[in-house]
Amino acid sequence: MDCQAIEKYDVPKVSWFERALKAAMDALTARPPKYPRLELEPMSNYMRRDLGFMDGRAPREDCDLTR
């Protein structure tokens, strides 16, 4: 089966203004997350133990996602 009509594919041209606008929008929206980070160094040992950081196992040892 042959196609009788061959259509030409045109790539839309992007103006310099649209490229600059997209670059500015990308730069403004690429921000670090606003949630606070957990810092373990200033924490006391009993707090680390309560949170499970000092139980002696490797991190994610019992994780079901790797199985």
CA 9 to CA 11: how far, in whole Å? 7
Residue 16 is predicted with a pLDDT of 92
Query: By mean pLDDT, which of 12-16, 27-31, 39-43 is the weakest?
Result: 27-31
pLDDT at position 54 over 80 = no
Tell if the pTM clears 0.85, that is, is over it. Answer: no
* Structure-model confidence comparison of residues 31 and 21, the more confident one: 21
What does the DSSP assignment read for 11-47?
PPPPPHHHHHHHHHHHHHH-----SPPPP-TTS-HHH
Among positive and negative, which fits the CA dihedral 31, 32, 35, 36? negative
pLDDT at position 13 over 80 = yes
Place of tokens 């670090």: 32
